[in-house]
Structure 1
Amino acid sequence: MKNGILICVLVLLLAACQQPTVYVFSENLQEEQRKQLDAALNTQNLPYEYVELAIPSGFGEATLLLSSDKIYQKETEQLATIMQGLGYEPQVNYTTRSNHFYGDGNIGFYLKNADSNSQFVMPKQLRTTQCSDDKYNDLVVKFVNEHVDFTLPSGAVVRLKWEYLYGYVVIYYKSYSQTYSHSQPLVNTPFGAKPSDTYTFTAHVNNPGWLDCSLQIVYVD
């Protein structure tokens, strides 16, 4: 009888060890938001713990990072619902076991405060880069308040409206828009690798071609 009880205990312990963990990264959350998040996380099935590390700049405001070796569909849906309940639209990314957090179904939960938009500062002047059509590379793009000016190869200046929305720069052209995600990669220059602010376009557009480009400023000094 004792052996039977011992076997049951061992089985339960092994099951507990194999249960995945949700690693929670948060940024700029207000106290009330943090309380709401804690309450919501307590309603889902998995254990979780907060990680005091910065959220990668390439991530949107709400990102779920899943272990590609094992995916728990039901639990992922619960976490996505929590993000939606807090007013965010979750984005799902995948990673491999080489990331020490994410093996055996562990999940990364990344959440940035939507109100952090007020802390965003757009560089005043950038240049186009990585254009689908090379002739549009290196155009001057100036941001002034709610307007952005593109100086075309002909010298003509086209003024459009823009805004920073849900972690993305959005430029509006006629009936559609172009969206850019922000990152800060090092860029090789004649003076060595230098930091940059890079805004990578997220969708290809057929017309105009100068919106089918990323935007970048490289800080040489």
Structure 2
Amino acid sequence: MKNGLLICVLACMLVACQQPTVYVFSENLQDEQRNQLDAALKAQTLPYEYVTLEIPSDFGEATLLLSSDKIYSKETEQLASIMQALGYEPQVNYTSRSNHFYGDGNIGFYLKNTAANAAFVMPKQLRTTQCSEDKYNDLIVTFTKEYADFTLPSGAVVRLGWEFLYGYVAIYYKNYSQTYRHSQPLINTPFGDKPSDTYTFTAHVNNPSWLDCSLQVVYMD
């Protein structure tokens, strides 16, 4: 009986030893973000440790670094969901022991707030583009400090609140929001390639359809 109990205890210890660890790196997170992150990490299933080292400069805002020798898909999805809930789009990379990174299923969790600065300026007027319904392309959207005014095809103006949050533009409609990721691609025009401020929507919404659009302003010199 004692031998059977000992075997059971050793088996449990072996399973515990095989469980991977999440190594958490974070930079420039606001207090609210840190609290959300800590609560979410406590709720997920893997043990984790905070690491007080700088995140490599070539990493994106949200990166999961997985060991290629053993991948825990369900747990990785949980960690990616944590990043998404904080307003980030996670990037998943793979590594191996030969690169002196992670093995045995251990996971690197890297999160940095690179947009936490007061230099952000929203253009005063943009137009909708890449809409799910073509009739909503090229609508005028005017931004003030607090509001985004959408001029609909009927001529009616809908005023919505907005804010710049964790590197994303968020526009609020009733009890949900549409978020946009900022980029500055060159846009091909009849006058050549021109710079732009482009805000790409991150989720499809069924209603209202005019929120199912990206926003863009092209600078023609």
TM-score bracket relative to the smaller structure: 0.5 to 0.7
1:206 deviation in Å?
1.3
Return the letter of the residue paired with 1:92: P
1:67 deviation in Å?
5.2
Would the alpha carbon gap of residues 123 and 89 (structure 1) be closer, same or farther in structure 2, given more than 3 Å must change? closer
1:140 deviation in Å?
0.6
- Rounded to whole Å, the distance in 2 between the matches of 1:172 and 1:214 is 15
2:206 pairs with 1:198: no
Q: Which residue of 2 aligns with 1:153?
A: 153
Q: Which residue of 1 aligns with 2:65?
A: 66
**Do 2:55 and 2:110's aligned partners in 1 also have CA atoms closer than 8 Å?**
no
Q: Which residue of 2 aligns with 1:171?
A: 171
Structure 1, residues 20-79: CA drift from partner, whole Å, max 9, x if none? xx9x795699xxx9xxxxx9415xxxxx665345x65xx4xxx12435845665xx98xx
- Rounded to whole Å, the distance in 1 between the matches of 2:203 and 2:100 is 29
Would the alpha carbon gap of residues 141 and 49 (structure 1) be closer, same or farther in structure 2, given more than 3 Å must change? closer
Return the letter of the residue paired with 1:136: Y
Aligned residues: 169
User: How does the TM-score come out when normalised to structure 2?
Assistant: 0.60
1:193 deviation in Å?
2.2
Equivalent position SS for 2:118 = helix
- Structure 1: where are the runs of 5+ without partners? 1-21, 34-38, 43-47
Would the alpha carbon gap of residues 70 and 190 (structure 1) be closer, same or farther in structure 2, given more than 3 Å must change? farther
2:41 pairs with 1:41: no
**Do 2:67 and 2:94's aligned partners in 1 also have CA atoms closer than 8 Å?**
yes
Q: Which residue of 1 aligns with 2:131?
A: 131
User: How does the TM-score come out when normalised to structure 1?
Assistant: 0.60
Return the letter of the residue paired with 1:94: V
- Rounded to whole Å, the distance in 1 between the matches of 2:140 and 2:185 is 20
- Rounded to whole Å, the distance in 2 between the matches of 1:102 and 1:130 is 43
1:145 deviation in Å?
1.1
1:153 deviation in Å?
1.0
Aligned positions of 1:1-221 closer than 5 A = 40-42=50-52, 50-52=55-57, 59=61, 63-66=62-65, 69=68, 92-95=90-93, 109-112=110-113, 116-221=116-221
**Do 1:129 and 1:215's aligned partners in 2 also have CA atoms closer than 8 Å?**
yes
1:118 deviation in Å?
2.7
1:154 deviation in Å?
1.4
- Rounded to whole Å, the distance in 1 between the matches of 2:199 and 2:124 is 13
Note the aligned Cα RMSD (angstroms): 3.9
**Do 1:96 and 1:102's aligned partners in 2 also have CA atoms closer than 8 Å?**
no
Return the letter of the residue paired with 1:64: T
Structure 1, residues 116-136: CA drift from partner, whole Å, max 9, x if none? 253321111111001000000
- Rounded to whole Å, the distance in 1 between the matches of 2:194 and 2:100 is 31
Equivalent position SS for 2:131 = coil
- Rounded to whole Å, the distance in 2 between the matches of 1:187 and 1:68 is 39
Structure 1, residues 190-218: CA drift from partner, whole Å, max 9, x if none? 22222221111111111111111011111
Sequence identity percentage: 55
Return the letter of the residue paired with 1:174: K
1:102 deviation in Å?
11
1:92 deviation in Å?
3.2
Return the letter of the residue paired with 2:110: F
Moved more, 162-171 or 188-197: 188-197
